[in-house]
Amino acid sequence: MTNNKHVLTWLDEMVALVKPDKVVWIDGSEEQLKALRDEALSTGEMEALNQEELPGCLLHRTKKNDVARVEGRTYICTKNRDDAAPINNWMETSEMKAKLTPMYDGVMKGRTMYVIPYCMGPIGSPFSKVGVELTDSIYVVLNMDIMTRMGQKALDQLGDSNDFVRGLHSKADVDEENRYIVQFPEENTIWSINSAYGGNVLLGKKCFALRIASYQGFKEGWMAEHMLILGIEAPNGETSYITAAFPSACGKTNLAMLIPPEVYAQQGYKVWTVGDDIAWMHIGEDGRLYAINPEAGFFGVAPGTNAKSNYNALASTKKNTIFTNVAHNLDNNTVWWEGLDKNPPVNAVEWTGNKVNGPEYAAQGGKLAHPNSRFTAPAINCPCLSKEFDNPNGVPVTAMVFGGRRAKTAPLVYQSFDWNHGVYVGSAMASETTAAATGAVGVVRRDPMAMRPFCGYNMGDYFSHWLDMGKKLGDKAPKIFNVNWFRTDDEGHFIWPGFGDNMRVLMWILNRCEGKVDAVETAIGYLPKAEDIDVTGLEGEGVTVDTVKDLLTVDSALWLEDCKGVHELYDQIGERVPAELEKQLADLEARLAK
């Protein structure tokens, strides 16, 4: 399929290491994919779902020990410790290779190696980048087909260049004690072993498009961020684009596909999805920041997705979708998860493969679907996919939004004073942990720019890079905001209705960018006047201007306490934290103490 000598030389080396029985190049053709699907069905690796209701859809269950990203076993390897540590797990490059090489030696004996050339970003875009993933998993091939532009076209894009990311994946024995997800940013290389789940093995996604790409962006002057990209089309037909970074399972897919509330829909506002997880951003010829989505599909959280919360995501899963770790409804051979509706299937197989009576199982507190069960859906299925999705130049970014799950501290929305203060706000992000990674759920931890698990280099250098981008962008820089959909009342219920109603907050953000609305200057930034968040139509849910007022309160004592957490983070990162951010933190504390 290619004469690229860099690809062929590396492939020979890897084949000599893992010793597969057979090597199969993935060309991306429908015949080849169909044969692979048939093989996965015949071995039981996948199950075919109801082909009338869910044409082309497949169900897959992973091993119980392999259901999420494993941050404790994810490494960034560089020559010098300080270039990746201390927020990342670090090991010196050759030491890690020496450790993993024996594990890879002969690991594909008796197996087939699939060679997957893939392109992150639209084919033909100057901002797209090519990777090649070697894997012994058909599940990976079929998912990469949905998530990336895969096959011959990716090799054509690469030509004879050496600029591609070398990914080696083996599910090996799916042994969690020997699971490693390793990035070598200085060598454009990824080694992943002993997992067969999502973000650990679809190497184009977190490993390349965030960890390796963030480092490439640092070196080359662009940004790779854990951000959704959405467009809001005004009644006059003009579309403004917003990117937003929320930690894993904190609402990017939902916000990216939101359906405008009646009050905006009536006026003719529309929302378009460009991306739901990752944005690559470059400075365009006009000096503005432009974003492309490097992915071609959505690897979305299933639980909580329903016709009301996220109609467009649900619609995206109705064909050619792979479901992982959801429940199987045997009555009609479809799928189910918590929050899809209130009727768990009676004749069900829960996500680990046991037959259960759904309502009884749920009544006993059992989860039919894993909390991090996911769908892999082609972006082209999405009813609100932006017409700019394949635009090689991307879309111009008007506003950037940070946010997370904060039960108390953060208000519904506020605007940073300027770019540098906005970088501070991103660096100080914190959020309650979710099921997207293994480990405790609901614990507040600092997650700068939602990139803690995904930054492929030193976090202090990453902050400096953000500040540098601001200098280059000057007055064309996007405005930076922070939101929080997750404030709770004394009983622990979310106060803000969220989902589609988040558009009310996005409209304030756009109005601010266009200079159409005033704000209140406070210690933490510019806050809306409560009456400027339109709550028309929310009366039925008991949401009024007073609710908004409540959501906009800022408790200085809580904030000062929170600043201690930022100090701890900065101390942990160490010397490379830019002086500018230390100053921003000190200034914030001074303002809060007044």
Site string for ligand SPV, 141-180 (x = CB under 6 A): ----------------------------------------
Whose Cβ is closer to ligand SPV: residue 429's or residue 477's? 429
**Residue 592: strand, helix, or coil:** helix
Which runs of E-coded beta strand occur in 234-301? 239-245, 270-275, 279-283, 289-292, 297-301
Beta strands 322-324 and 327-329, pairing class: unpaired
Which residue is catalytic, options 250, 382, 384, 455? 250
Instruction: For residue 116, give the amino acid letter.
Output: I
Q: Pick from ligand SPV, ligand GTP, Mn ion, none: which does 303 bind, CB < 5 to 8 A by kind?
A: ligand GTP
- Exposed, middle or buried, 154 (CB in 10 Å: 0-12/13-18/19+)? buried
- Where residue 174 falls (left for φ over 0; alpha for ψ -120 to 50; beta otherwise) is left
- Scan residues 452-491 and list those touching ligand GTP (CB under 6 A): 485-486
- Exposed, middle or buried, 340 (CB in 10 Å: 0-12/13-18/19+)? buried
In the annotation, is 250 catalytic?
Answer: yes
Min. distance of Cβ 205 from Mn ion in angstroms? 8
- Scan residues 418-437 and list those touching ligand GTP (CB under 6 A): 436
Candidate list 359, 396, 498, 537; residue touching ligand GTP; CB under 6 A: 498
Q: Which stretch binds ligand SPV (CB under 6 A): 46-54, 180-188, 197-205, 478-486?
A: 197-205
What tokens does 477 get? 């820089």
Beta carbons within 8 Å of 234's beta carbon, 6+ residues apart: 240, 268, 269
- 69 sits near ligand SPV (criterion: CB under 6 A): yes
Q: Pick from ligand GTP, Mn ion, ligand SPV, none: which does 254 bind, CB < 5 to 8 A by kind?
A: ligand GTP
Which runs of E-coded beta strand occur in 44-106? 47-48, 58-60, 74-78, 89-92
Candidate list 10, 299, 323, 375; residue touching ligand SPV; CB under 6 A: 299
Q: Pick from Mn ion, ligand GTP, ligand SPV, none: which does 402 bind, CB < 5 to 8 A by kind?
A: none
Cβ atoms of 37 and 321 closer than 8 Å: no
Cβ atoms of 316 and 382 closer than 8 Å: yes
- 28 sits near ligand GTP (criterion: CB under 6 A): no
What tokens does 217 get? 């962006």
Residue among 321, 577, 339 at smallest CA distance from 458: 577
Q: Pick from Mn ion, ligand GTP, ligand SPV, none: which does 304 bind, CB < 5 to 8 A by kind?
A: ligand GTP
User: With the C-alpha atoms ordered 391, 393, 396, 401, is the resulting torsion angle positive or negative?
Assistant: positive
Whose Cβ is closer to ligand SPV: residue 74's or residue 78's? 74
Residue among 61, 34, 67, 36 at smallest CA distance from 47: 61
Residue among 450, 440, 438 at smallest CA distance from 70: 438
- Size of interface with ligand GTP, in residues (CB under 6 A): 22
**Which positions touch Mn ion (CB under 5 A)?**
248, 277
Whose Cβ is closer to ligand SPV: residue 143's or residue 420's? 143
Tell me the C-alpha distance between 59 and 419, whole Å: 45
What tokens does 448 get? 């700068």
- 578 sits near ligand SPV (criterion: CB under 6 A): no
Residue among 321, 269, 254, 325 at smallest CA distance from 483: 254
Beta strands 395-403 and 289-292, pairing class: antiparallel
Whose Cβ is closer to ligand GTP: residue 436's or residue 592's? 436
Q: Pick from ligand GTP, ligand SPV, Mn ion, none: which does 198 bind, CB < 5 to 8 A by kind?
A: ligand SPV
- Scan residues 228-247 and list those touching ligand GTP (CB under 6 A): 246
Torsion angle, alpha carbons of 99, 102, 108, 113, to 10 = 50
- Scan residues 270-299 and list those touching ligand GTP (CB under 6 A): 276-277
Tell me the C-alpha distance between 325 and 370, whole Å: 6
Min. distance of Cβ 300 from ligand SPV in angstroms? 8
Beta carbons within 8 Å of 211's beta carbon, 6+ residues apart: 76, 183, 185, 190, 454, 455, 456
Q: Pick from Mn ion, ligand GTP, ligand SPV, none: which does 205 bind, CB < 5 to 8 A by kind?
A: ligand SPV
Q: Pick from ligand SPV, Mn ion, ligand GTP, none: which does 69 bind, CB < 5 to 8 A by kind?
A: ligand SPV
DSSP assignment letter at 54: S
Candidate list 239, 253, 376, 427; residue touching ligand GTP; CB under 6 A: 253
Whose Cβ is closer to ligand GTP: residue 93's or residue 484's? 484
Site string for ligand SPV, 232-261 (x = CB under 6 A): ----------------x-------------
- Scan residues 409-438 and list those touching ligand SPV (CB under 6 A): 436
Whose Cβ is closer to ligand GTP: residue 290's or residue 499's? 499
Whose Cβ is closer to ligand SPV: residue 300's or residue 525's? 300
Site string for ligand SPV, 3-22 (x = CB under 6 A): --------------------
- 199 sits near ligand SPV (criterion: CB under 6 A): yes
Q: Which residues are tagged catalytic?
A: 250
Positions touching ligand GTP (CB under 6 A) are 246, 248-254, 276-277, 300-301, 303-304, 309, 436, 485-486, 494, 498-499, 502
Positions touching ligand SPV (CB under 6 A) are 69, 198-199, 205-206, 248, 277, 299, 436
